[in-house]
Structure 1
Amino acid sequence: MTRCLPVNPASPTRSSAQGDDAALHSERHGPPAAWTGVAAAGLATFCVVTTEMLPVGLLLPIADTLGVSVGSGGLLMFVPGILAALCAPLVVVGARGIDRRRILCGLLLLLAGANLASALAPSMPWLLAARVLVGGCIGGVWAVAGGLAGRLVPPASVGLATAVIFGGVAVASVLGVPLGALIGELAGWRSAFGAMAALSAAVLLFAAWALPPLPVAQSVSSRQLLGQLRNPALRRGLFITLFLVAGHFMAYTFVRPVLQSLAGFDQAWIGPLLFAYGVAGIAGNFLAGGAAARRLRATLMAIVLGLLATLSLLPWLGVLRPGAAGLLLLWGLSYGGVSVALQTWVMQAARDAVEAATSLFVGVFNLAIALGALAGGASVDAWGLPAALLIAAACMLAPLAAVGLRGDRP
């Protein structure tokens, strides 16, 4: 059991200034207005994470249209992931006193432009350039939105507001891919990016209307940010995040080739199968959300074991359509709880410095996405899909040990 770090009086997440902001906002605009601001932040995280996930369900048609290999298509996940990992802590440190509403709206405007550029990209280099912009938006929006709950609602409602905001991440992680695949199936992969450009613009207008002015007197300093790395429980949580998320995306980036090439499903089945995965993921998110608050270690252990079983069995049972469909549902159920369980770990490990710890968590999470997509692409091109799935399964052994060992836990 680790001790919490000393209270950081400048922490934007739990500062008295935030409590005053929330109280003033509620007094002027009422509780419904406060929760529309929370909804706007949740929709912003949904937009950026859905944009990040889109290439997973569209990988084969994108590769065919632009004339690149499936493994090279993994760069569409690597590029924004690595940029998001860099931008998340930089935005938190560099934002200083800039109004958080302006930052969030500016990033949503950039996201709409990046999605439009992706829809119009004539070649792979142009598409990768657009994904660079996406990466900056992901890190910035996720890090800024994650610290807004305490600025929008009274202290008693901060937990629920945080769950709503990060619920946008969870829902996008499990539904973004099937929605993109469905739109791509009906109207082409470029239409999927065009639809996300329109949605991002709509959320921008909603956020500009729903969010109050959110100035801050002081942002997190680089010293405070780096100081969180001395928190042993947080370090263990970041270690678990790195290997768990990297192993998942090493395989999940290529879930469409797994379903079509390995299991032999027709193209028409991909959208419904990925939607079923998304529904299972939503169920996993709600199950893990309730369980993690009571038994965090047991919840994470169940998640890791579910992913380990899925990735280990797919090369063998995945050649059969019923086996592949069943394992896909187990995959969705297991991964659906990852975001909420890991965020619970981070918030419990750094109760008095949530914004700083969350920015590190967002950075490591997206770094893991990038590394997983890159390693998966190299493995698929070198040894094929079954070998890549087994390597991804092996990545789950590290978080399994880290969760199971006694020591520094929240």
Structure 2
Amino acid sequence: MQQQTHQPPATAHWFAVFSLFMGVTSLISAEFVPISLLTPIAKSLNITEGMAGQTVSAVGIFAVIASLFLSSVAKTTNRRTVLLIMSAMLIGANTLIAFAPNYILLLIGRCILGLCVGSFWSLASAVTIQLVPEKDISRALSIVYAGVSVATIISLPLASYLGNIIGWRSIFLLTALLGVAAFICQLLTLPALPAQADSNFKQMLLLLKQPWVATGMLATIFSYGGYHIFFTYLRPFLQHTLALPANTLSILLLIFGSGNFAGTIVAGWIMHKHFKPAMIISHIILFILAVTLLFSHNNQATESALIIAWGFMFGFLPVGWSTWIAITLANKAEIMGGLSVAAIQFAIGLAAAIGGIIYDHQGIQGIFLSSALIFIAALLLIKISFAQYTRTTAKPFS
């Protein structure tokens, strides 16, 4: 399969990179805000909390669809235009959700948001690679994906706190305003971004025929699954198992998100020069943290410190997998980004579903054990994928 050579720019467009950070922050915040607001949403619309929770699942489903088919639908459309359209749709979706008089309109707004999340997210890595020289790619990716960490802070402790004061509808209006800021920033800073050649669904399938790509996608699913099987049930663990007071819980969630942000930035500095060892060691540490939590005895101070470390280490996952794409297939980053987003969203949904069954039958200890086993599987798949890549291309990872 013939591939075009990726030509990075001579100078970095850092303001444009920051605009992508703003976009990721606004999108992921909007995706996960309902986690903190399920009860008031359900009460306001006279629905069950389970029905309110399906609004999170709806985003994931439509994000997968968008990530797989965006390249085929948009084809030659300038990626700057696509990103601006998605940011504008985000504003509209959150505004619709904020004023939704019933569950159906709420769900429609969330489905639109899912299209925005999948489209923007699948292009984020490819666009970032076009904005900076090769030596700055890992650092730029860490800035963009730091938006996930900031979104964690916004959607968990901050949304929960403000929701009690100004109501859940006002929270969605605030996320719409955040989207407005992202849109303006992108409008002013993003240069023209031509679509990559041969970015379509057929090319995705051809890529997956390469063993190291298929194994890498499977490793991505296990990597994110190992994290999210616990992250999904983090709040019940802190609230019920550790019995943290409400104020302490909110502060710990804030520190958790801040640790996640710090981990993302640190990962950006490390991944460029030490990608292979950083990927392997980060998964080993996450495995060790899961095992340590499994055998700890509900000591608030110890387990709180482990939770913060868990948040810090998660920062290595989005930066690491995005760097993997940049190293291996920079000229196919759009379709690889689509595959990656589909894998990540699938992992999040599957982890939440399987984790729910495990949590109901085995409690939090079953969650920790499952997380540890999943990270072992992820680690093995990562090593296999790296070996397959080296055999196929004769280019070892550094």
Q: TM-score, normalised by structure 2?
A: 0.84
Q: For residues 325-371 of structure 1, what are the alpha-carbon distances to aligned partners after superposition, in whole Å with 9 as ceiling and x for unaligned? A: 12211211221211111111222222432222222112211221122
Q: 1:318 to 1:62 in 2, by over 3 A?
A: farther
- Residue matched to 2:92: 113
Q: For residues 261-281 of structure 1, what are the alpha-carbon distances to aligned partners after superposition, in whole Å with 9 as ceiling and x for unaligned? A: 221112222321111111211
Q: Which runs of 5+ in 1 are unaligned?
A: none
Is 2:130 the partner of 1:134?
no
Q: 1:89 to 1:304 in 2, by over 3 A?
A: same
CA RMSD, Structure 1 to Structure 2 (Å):
3.2
For 1:325 and 1:364, how far apart are their aligned partners in 2?
A: 30
**Paired AA for residue 134 in structure 1:** L
* Structure 1 residue ranges, 4+ long, deviating more than 6 angstroms after superposition: none
Q: 1:318 to 1:326 in 2, by over 3 A?
A: farther
For 1:63 and 1:390, how far apart are their aligned partners in 2?
A: 32
For 1:286 and 1:159, how far apart are their aligned partners in 2?
A: 10
Higher deviation after alignment, 310-319 or 143-152: 310-319
Q: Which residue of 1, 4, 7 maps to 1:8?
A: 4
Is the 1:56–1:254 contact (alpha carbons within 8 Å) kept by the matching residues of 2? no
Aligned residue runs from structure 1 range 212-291, under 5 A: 212-214=191-193, 216=195, 220-291=199-270
Q: Alpha-carbon deviation of 1:151? A: 4.7
Is 2:43 the partner of 1:39?
no
Q: Alpha-carbon deviation of 1:243? A: 1.1
Higher deviation after alignment, 264-273 or 349-358: 349-358
Aligned residue runs from structure 1 range 190-201, under 5 A: 190-201=169-180
For 1:198 and 1:297, how far apart are their aligned partners in 2?
A: 39
Higher deviation after alignment, 126-135 or 173-182: 173-182
Q: 1:329 to 1:79 in 2, by over 3 A?
A: same
Aligned residue runs from structure 1 range 47-58, under 5 A: 47-58=26-37
Is the 2:228–2:352 contact (alpha carbons within 8 Å) kept by the matching residues of 1? yes
Q: Which residue of 53, 70, 75 maps to 1:91?
A: 70
Higher deviation after alignment, 260-269 or 152-161: 152-161
For 1:283 and 1:159, how far apart are their aligned partners in 2?
A: 15
- Residue matched to 2:394: none
For 2:133 and 2:33, how far apart are their aligned partners in 1?
A: 35
For 2:136 and 2:277, how far apart are their aligned partners in 1?
A: 26
Q: 1:299 to 1:153 in 2, by over 3 A?
A: closer
Identity of aligned residues (%): 26
Q: Alpha-carbon deviation of 1:152? A: 4.4
Is the 1:259–1:324 contact (alpha carbons within 8 Å) kept by the matching residues of 2? no
Is the 2:162–2:171 contact (alpha carbons within 8 Å) kept by the matching residues of 1? yes
Q: TM-score, normalised by structure 1?
A: 0.81
Q: Alpha-carbon deviation of 1:190? A: 3.6
Q: Alpha-carbon deviation of 1:208? A: 2.3
**Paired AA for residue 388 in structure 2:** D
Is the 2:289–2:306 contact (alpha carbons within 8 Å) kept by the matching residues of 1? yes
Is 2:123 the partner of 1:144?
yes
Q: Alpha-carbon deviation of 1:300? A: 2.3
Is the 2:71–2:335 contact (alpha carbons within 8 Å) kept by the matching residues of 1? yes
